[in-house]
Chain A
Amino acid sequence: MRILLAEDDRLLGDGIQAGLRALGFQVDWVRDGFATERELRAQTYSAVVLDLGLPHRDGLEVLLALRAEGNAVPVLVLTARDAIGERIRGLDTGADDYVVKPVDLHELAARLRALIRRSHGQPRDRLQVQDVSLDPAAHQVHQGGRSIPTSAREFDLLHALMLNAGRVLSREQLEQHLYSWGQEIESNAIEVHVHHLRRKLGAAAIQTVRGVGYVMPVRPAIE
């Protein structure tokens, strides 16, 4: 899951980025309001961690513009201000969650997972498509009660497909979901990961729509 982190404090941003990465997120880090807007227009993110006290353009202004453009990406506001009025203003402006510094990295990760899950209409953290279940917090995949070992990339790919079960995702969309900036993407990387997943889950679990992308059908295809 790819997250945009907008935080101007060098040490805090660095720590959150390192921590969230270790907890299985792809994290892009920007340090001012302009860069935040630019990245949100250019890329697809599963969620945004937004500090309110950003240079150049205040976090709330960014959020307001974002929602005005119809962008519904889940936004978690991170701030040092805990006055109740501030929180209400943040949530009313279009934030989906509000966390006051300092924050526990595990809590932050759990809140982000919950936001992402809800944004896909999933009421529970554990995803279930066909006979495959995926636990984002524990990073575990099961099929028919059997544990399926997956690499980090395979897990992220499967997570994206399961969150969007029944919808076709293009290769570019999947790449954006899997890789943060500066990571080298080999041209056939997605194909390779899909290939490995099919070997582990069965060929019918993920279907290719030629020229469009990949889809995980809600019910297994009739072979």
Chain B
Amino acid sequence: MKRILGSLQARTTLLVVAVTSAVWISASAAMWLDTRRELAMLLDAHLTQAASFLATGRRGEDEELEHGRSAVMRPYAPRVAFQVFDRSTLQSKSGDAPSEPFVPLDSQESALTTVEVKGTAWRVFSATTSDRDVRIIVAEQVAARNDIALAVLRSTLWPMLLALPLLAATVIFAVRGGLRPMKRLGDTLAARLPTALDPIPTGNTPAEMRPMVEALNGLFGRIRDLLDSERRFTADAAHELRTPIAAIRAQAQAAFTVVDAVARQHALRSTIEGCDRAARLIDQLLFLARLESGVTPDFAMLDMADLARQVLAEATPNALIKEQHLELEAPEPYPVAGSTDLLRALIRNLVDNAIRYSQMGARISVTLGREDGRTVVAIEDTGPGLDESERLRLGDRFYRGKASQASGSGLGWSIARRIAELHRLEVAVDRSPELGGLRVRLTFPSR
């Protein structure tokens, strides 16, 4: 049943046939009731008429009556009956009428009743003549009435029973024709190559199907964008890995080629450094791929001040190598909702960038504060900063600033931006009014 209802065609056909049948059956029922009522009234009138006829034609005309009745009423003869009583003596009766009166004779009233005699229901009319001596009873079997009503009903039901299968066939045919565009769409989709993501033309699509086709086209578009960005990412990643690998190769080959022992040591050390750099690049690529795979991280309440303190502590050795000064200004705890690991990676990336792209002896400060009840983290440095065109390209994967002499991959920003998106942070990049270098401001959403 479930399978059948799964088909739109079967569903529509069933529904149409069921509704038609229901309408037909209720119409027949109404007709049945109506016919029975009309019939009852008509036949009751006949009974009454027959009784009065008996009363007026009683004297010496029995013979003739008998004759007329037999001609006209023969098919109904066993089903109609009459009795004529003079006081309580049966004077005459039809052949198949019982000798006992259908109804008690004590009543003088004229009345129509239904009685049961020996298991057969009779419709009975009884009346008394005007001289109050003779009681006339006319009866008719109820079953006879029902047979007439049934015959009427049958004559209306027959065409219906014949028409129903025809109707079903027509509906199936019509539904199939109506649903043909849908089947065509299905065939088109089934025949599509997985790489074909161009929109389905909507020119002659029926209005009902247009929203579906448009939704599909929208989906195709989104998948195409996603694939494009994946392809770009793979291509960029491959290119970006070429340089560290070229460096490793050049250094290793130089180690083979140079004669000088000190130069060879240097080349070998550089080979290892190159391997570390390639490994870090791959780590970042994997991290970014995980971030972009759409997995939502678990959020918890954490203290941003505490987290920033940890990140700066970890970054201090790197800053010391470049004789840079790290500062943290976080006068109180700043509770925010987020993923500790991701927010740490975010702050670490920004601080690492500041260290990497700022000159020897630069100042790098991280400041926490509140604006309109929202927590703001600002990372500023005294480095060269970025001009506007460079700021716009920040977050392009692998983009490094124009003046960049440092060996970054440019992935740090992509990672930072993605983490910020996941936490719905507002990111603003401008020139630090105090330190003159780059300023990155992260504003948390209000709670």
A interface, CB within 8 angstroms of B: 8-12, 14-16, 18-19, 21-23, 31-32, 55-56, 80-81, 100-106
Contact = CB atoms under 8 A, between A and B. Distances in A.
A12 to B, nearest CB: 4
A101 B274 contact: no
Chain B: number of interface residues, binned into ranges:
20 to 34
Given A19-B254, A105-B253, A9 B247 contact: yes
Q: Which 5 A-B pairs have the closest CB atoms?
A: A15-B250, A102-B246, A101-B246, A12-B247, A11-B247
16 contacts: A8-B405, A9-B243, A11-B244, A11-B247, A11-B273, A15-B252, A16-B254, A18-B258, A18-B263, A19-B254, A22-B263, A55-B401, A55-B402, A56-B403, A81-B239, A101-B245
B407 A105 contact: no
Secondary structure of the B side of the interface? helix
Contacts of A81: 239
A9 B407 CA distance: 7
A187 B34 CA distance: 135
A98 to B, nearest CB: 14
Nearest to A19: B254
Contacts of A12: 243, 246-247, 250
Contacts of B257: 18-19, 22-23, 105
A43 to B, nearest CB: 22
Determine which residue in A11, A22, A80 has the highest number of CB atoms from chain B within 10 A of its CB, and name it: A11
B353 to A, nearest CB: 16
Centre residue among A8, A9, A55, A106 by max chain B CB count within 10 A: A9
Interface string B232-265: 0000000110111111111111100111000100
B404 interface: yes
Interface in B385-423: 401-405, 407
Which of B246, B266, B270, B273 lies at the interface centre, i.e. has the most chain A CB atoms within 10 A of its CB? Answer: B246
A103 B246 contact: yes
Contacts of B402: 55-56
A101 B242 CA distance: 6
A19 B263 CA distance: 10
B356 interface: no
Contacts of A11: 244, 247-248, 250-251, 270, 273-274, 277, 407
B259 A22 contact: yes
A15 B404 contact: no
B405 A15 contact: no
B404 A55 contact: yes
A100 B266 CA distance: 25
A192 B24 CA distance: 124
B267 interface: yes
Contacts of B242: 80, 100-102
Contacts of B403: 32, 55-56
Given A11-B270, A105-B250, 20 more contacts: A9-B247, A11-B247, A14-B247, A14-B251, A15-B251, A18-B257, A19-B253, A19-B258, A22-B254, A22-B259, A22-B263, A32-B405, A55-B402, A56-B403, A101-B242, A101-B243, A101-B246, A102-B242, A102-B249, A104-B249
Contacts of A19: 250, 253-254, 257-258
A129 to B, nearest CB: 29
Question: Most A CB atoms within 10 A — which of B243, B248, B404?
Answer: B243
Nearest to A15: B250
A54 B242 CA distance: 15
B407 A10 contact: yes
Given A9-B407, A22-B259, A105-B254, A15 B270 contact: yes
Nearest to B249: A102
Nearest to B239: A80
A103 B245 CA distance: 10
